[in-house]
Chain A
């Protein structure tokens, strides 16, 4: 109960403040027509007892912004009207009034306010309400509260909110009676502890400490040698040297880089995309590697942030810094819907860097924080004026691989370019020819709805994206007083029905403003137009005349053989021509920008073809074998425009124009609109400005959270009004200011935190000796601490924590001695070994937004769809199942057991000790040694050995060369579960698709190049007999093709099976040793239910001399191979007792938790 209250308090306070704000706003806007229900002398009572109650407890849901059940309780009128079910007060029978019934109810489903909104009203409250109703429910016409004072209160609340206040350097408290040398951090922490009658727990033991620090800084376990050395190192600076060594390790960047990737919602894929587009980002790994390096270099945090937001402006000459911009460009693609992409960028910047939930202001002013919708769109304008640009850095040429890569890339780019230019030229011709239609169409944007792929747009139609571009262009033309479109803009203000009457005066205005109007336009409007269509037609005429003149000029030059003209001789004509042909911001022109920027400007068939060709480039880049950096940066658009508010977040519902500028909550009164380009650089500078009260606090808090298990502020990405205040506000400011003073060095932060006594204390609930404040026994003190501070907010002990998924996986491969320590580069599947059978660290595992492996979800991996403030730590049986039965864990247990098997003479006890040393970096306790030894000795050592026949089968995929009737490209399926061979950890696999083979099942892949092949290889020469029945057991789809094929004689039998069975029997077939018999399942027409149940048997009926017989076979003939019986995967073998013991230790709490 205590916990709940403690936790809920800030939320409730936040709500109260919010309601207060609503209420005060209401007071200001209260209109005189709100007549009192009944005039009376109870005004004072109302103002002092009732109004505050309604404001604080009711109007949050029944007020200006929300009217649950149609009810408002913020004016006399509203009260009189009541809700959906009529009035809620009855002055004749107060106790029967719905309002009283609701506030008094015991039934949670009825009670108001609802339990999750707040506590029930007090008896006093209810009595007041009853009295108020009984005495006529008077509602004074005018608020007797002083007007305006409320707003000041709200403003003051915002101003005084701890997170928005400037940081202040606190005095480090003086601490008495310490037996350990305190660091500044300790002084702050102890000050509060002592005030609560608590103190630190005793220092953690050396083994615990080195494990804690090593994991916290590198994400890896210390080796058993490192532990031994540290435990026995008596020198005073041993711990400090350890911290410095860990901070200098390249693995530090891998650990902290991953922490940053959570913040940056990193993924290797775009999320859902239509099949035409390559779903992998080409630049994801470049960003990830840049982040790792930045941490390893201790890049000052301000610079780190600056580069991620504006590397293009900060260091244009330094292309490798462009990798940093993946921070902005690696978000979900949202099917290309621009407002959603912008929203994602605003969110990652505001929550990730500033701890502000600016995204809430997309549709309405932030309900709790001082973030108006206008501020959201100010930032929106910064991002929407920034467009993506691919940057390719050629590798050092000369090597065949580099040459081949660059040539291949150029080839693909050329193909794209040629197609693009042809299509662009044709599309622009269509745009020019339909200016009248576009001008008219953009008046009815609702007919060209939300940019969506589900429309099929033919070339002959108006392109919705272009219609919207016209609208945006005209809006900007109005802002910039464009001389060409001035007339259109003026006439566009007229309604259709008033057009004829008002047209002459508009015309007059135009003629009077002749100096600011383009002469051709002025000339065209010397008579008043009769309708909007007439205006459009006149523009059509103006442009077609110029277009014709230009075409003739070009044709003439072409005929004469003279050089292609560059412009029209007449300057007036030329400016019109530029609009038609040249200006990037003209809706008649498709800018030569990346697909991400221009994909909405095409008809469906062209955009598909363009994406296809872009996909060819992307895949080539993704497969690059050489070190050739590839970035997707943001750059400022050439022509910037001012953003407009989208009312209720709807792009079709445009509100007022807002300048691009920083958030008012931080910039304050002196805020100036951004001046340069999109304003991105200025925004970035404002974020890392040392006086910004949020940036340093937010990052310091995140680092703290990752070392102490919980932030000083518990909501690391929300420092707004609803956040709980920091547990140690002075400490937060001390850290933040010193962090800035130390050149924003994150390494300084780590050192400062890890060298504190607070960090080094034990996580057990035992106090440090001699510091029990009132002389209680140790047990007594423990319960005291638990009582005073059960959540350990004051840090009277260290918080233990579970390893993250990455730490768990990395620990297992480290103990198995299977790590490939190579850094950087392309991501790989976490559960499939790379070449050489080794595994890379988890940070290099592929993060596929759309198909995030279930295992990652089960272990609370950061959701890559959005900025992730902190990871959940849930415990579910699926995690245990992974630990017990997943082939990956089993494989590591095998490898670990393998490490302790040498030399063979070592006895059981020594091996057990070795295992404990390896995994726990300590010897077993005598009890544990006894139990483990007994565990080993109780179980039979020898597990059933695999019969030799199994090795004659293999499981792969490939295609059939129909002409030669042979298999080409037989490749073994790379991955196995306990029951299946398949392409990867999940079906379908990203590369190999659905192809998989089990004991009886055999399932074709997604195309004919990935047919499933169950292969039998003849171990000796002779005659065989084949018996099998293949069954396709689905009424759906169109069936599959089953093929029996011999490497000697080609296709023996081939059948299409669709909801049917067929026998594949061969009475006699001659084979030579090494020949193969393949049972192939190939896709038939469409991909659907492409599997057969097909488990053949092969019998050797006559044997010739062969090089090798099957192991253990006595008879040389009548050996029978049975696909079902012989089936084996890498991981279907069971664990032996040693492997089980290794598994027990690596999945145990001692291994998986940090004390």
Chain B
């Protein structure tokens, strides 16, 4: 069989094609074409409202509600007061007065790093990079249901279908690599509320998150259905020739141009996307850093390493869903369930921070770790091993991308029940994320149904205290 490259084939076969088509093909695209195509391309890289401190986000979402007092919010008094009766103002989302018993964490805390930040024994590896983190210990959100909490954390609205944070960022900034989607979500299992978590909703469809399922075929429809990429290249040349022929006979319409270009981009994506997911070029040392075995195509370490690779390739917003809507951090029955879950993400996340840092990427990459809410430091009986949902205060952390490192922002009371200082609402977190990207959350709006909508609805405050 003869192997032809694009150009050879073109020269042989295009003798019948019009001169315009030929020039266009050989020059790939001339500048005018490219410009007009770009004007109609909503994903073109754009500048924000002001200089950014981060170029991209890696957003890690641990599903189910991670307990704050067992992980990031060290409460010595909770150990001392274990078993003490308190009056809670709410229980299982019911307001009222409830007599409950404080229950101590089953893990000890240690101080780590220069900053001396307290981290629980659940996260020894993250402890070792704590000087790069900014821990938020007074997070609050409005909903203590998984579905609503998850939606609010992603879209700013717990009740209505609204665009996801990643879609807003894609809308605001476009993407620098047209060969990959601007917003990608690596989720082994669907999260609570399903695909709405990464939906573009009323924003143009190109801004929706592209769902990546770890496994044999992380992204669908990337595999050419012809014998080889080469053969498909030839097919695309024919397509391009026919399209340009058509373009010449009709009007020079930007939409026609843009569509011609989209095939070229797709061709690039076929080559680039599988490569982004192929970890075979990574060294053993790097794989160890993330705690993955060579050849693995799944697991949280895989998600983290792929996230770094996507970040390197210019993907604007990368979300990693830790677990999904089942068998997650929702430890009602027994907090012991937190242990294997923490183990599964501790090493990979620490590896991700280290890897980004040594590659000089952490400075321009905002890493966010969060969850839908925290868990109650108290229960109906003192020996109950589980914890219930608690949205009045919980913990998250940020790193890189213009965030002050080695600090703890926000404080809860002595038992970790209510915020006492510097609380950060979900809307504030969104406003801060956008701010790092150079976007003003009040000015990043989209006209829909007669109103200018934004990610933060009518609220949100940039948490300037955590900015460099």
Contact = CB atoms under 8 A, between A and B. Distances in A.
Nearest to A859: B205
Given A765-B251, A1036-B327, A874 B206 contact: yes
B262 A272 contact: no
Contacts of A980: 216-217
A1005 interface: no
B327 A1086 contact: yes
B105 interface: no
Contacts, number: 280
B190 interface: yes
Interface stretch (B27-35, B106-114, B122-130, B234-242): B234-242
B324 to A, nearest CB: 8
Given A109-B49, A938-B4, A940-B1, A351 B222 contact: no
A332 B14 CA distance: 53
B77 interface: no
A718 B205 CA distance: 21
Contact of A863 (B18, B202, B450): B202
Contacts of A369: 450
Contacts of B148: 454
Nearest to A369: B450
**Interface size class for chain B?**
35 or more
A325 to B, nearest CB: 23
Interface in B426-457: 440, 442-443, 445, 449-451
Interface in B150-183: 159-161, 178-179, 181
A873 interface: yes
Given A109-B49, A934-B12, A1134-B226, A351 B450 contact: yes
Contacts of A45: none
Nearest to A1086: B327
Interface stretch (A34-42, A555-563, A864-872, A1064-1072): A864-872
B360 interface: no
Contacts of A1037: 327
Contacts of B266: 877-878, 880-881, 884
Contacts of B215: 1001, 1091
A874 B270 CA distance: 20
A795 to B, nearest CB: 14
Interface of A: 68, 108-109, 114, 116, 271-272, 332, 334-335, 337, 340, 347, 351, 357, 359-360, 368-369, 446-447, 449, 452-456, 717-718, 720, 722, 763-765, 797, 800, 802, 849-852, 854, 857-861, 863, 865-867, 872-887, 890, 925-928, 930-932, 934-935, 938-940, 943, 977-980, 987-988, 998-1001, 1033-1037, 1086-1089, 1091, 1131, 1134-1135, 1140-1141, 1143-1145, 1147-1150, 1152-1153, 1155
A977 B217 contact: yes
B231 A880 contact: no
A780 to B, nearest CB: 16
Given A764-B251, A863-B201, A885-B225, A1088 B326 contact: yes
Interface in B198-248: 199-202, 204-206, 208, 210-211, 213, 215-217, 220-227, 231-232, 234-236, 238-239, 241-243, 245-247
B161 A866 contact: yes
Interface in B322-365: 323, 326-327, 340-341, 343-344
A562 B93 CA distance: 50
Nearest to A765: B251
Contacts of B92: 454-456
B325 to A, nearest CB: 10
Contacts of B221: 881-882, 884-886, 978
Given A454-B145, A763-B250, A925-B245, 14 more contacts: A357-B449, A357-B450, A449-B93, A454-B148, A717-B449, A860-B205, A880-B259, A884-B221, A928-B242, A931-B241, A938-B2, A977-B220, A1134-B227, A1147-B239
Interface of B: 1-2, 4, 9, 12-18, 40-43, 49-50, 92-96, 143-145, 147-148, 159-161, 178-179, 181, 188-190, 193-196, 199-202, 204-206, 208, 210-211, 213, 215-217, 220-227, 231-232, 234-236, 238-239, 241-243, 245-247, 249-253, 255-256, 258-263, 265-270, 296, 298-299, 323, 326-327, 340-341, 343-344, 389, 440, 442-443, 445, 449-451
Contacts of A865: 160-161, 201
A861 B205 contact: yes
Given A875-B40, A1148-B239, A449 B195 contact: no
A1140 B226 contact: yes
A1039 B191 CA distance: 20
A337 B223 contact: no
Nearest to B323: A1036
Contacts of A925: 245
Contacts of B252: 765
Contact of B250 (A456, A882, A1145, A1155): A1155
Contacts of A763: 250-251
A142 B234 CA distance: 78
Most buried by A among B12, B224, B250, B445: B250
A802 B254 CA distance: 12
Contact of B95 (A359, A447, A886, A1087): A447
A884 B247 contact: no
A455 B15 CA distance: 73
A272 B223 contact: no
Given A802-B259, A927-B16, A1140-B226, A114 B238 contact: no
B202 A935 contact: no
Contacts of A890: 225
Most buried by A among B4, B216, B236, B270: B216
Nearest to B190: A988
A518 B386 CA distance: 54
A930 B14 CA distance: 9
B263 A1143 contact: no
Given A720-B450, A987-B213, A447 B96 contact: yes
Contacts of B95: 446-447, 449
A866 B238 contact: no
Contacts of B224: 884-885
B79 to A, nearest CB: 29
B145 A453 contact: yes
Contact of A866 (B144, B202, B260, B269): B202
Contacts of B193: 272
A876 B206 contact: yes
Nearest to A893: B225
8 contacts: A271-B161, A357-B450, A456-B92, A876-B205, A885-B225, A979-B217, A1035-B344, A1148-B246
Contacts of A931: 13-14, 16-17, 238, 241-242
Nearest to B42: A874
Given A850-B196, A875-B255, A1149-B259, A764 B235 contact: no
A1140 B79 CA distance: 69
Contacts of A861: 205
A452 B242 contact: no
A1149 B246 contact: yes
B65 to A, nearest CB: 12
A940 B2 CA distance: 9
A1088 B217 CA distance: 19
Nearest to A800: B253
Contacts of A1000: 216
Given A859-B205, A1087-B326, A797 B211 contact: no
Contacts of B343: 1035
A811 B181 CA distance: 27
Contacts of B236: 884
Contacts of B211: 854
B259 to A, nearest CB: 5
A457 to B, nearest CB: 8
A802 B255 contact: yes
Contact of B450 (A718, A878, A939): A718
Contacts of B299: 1033-1034
A940 B43 CA distance: 39
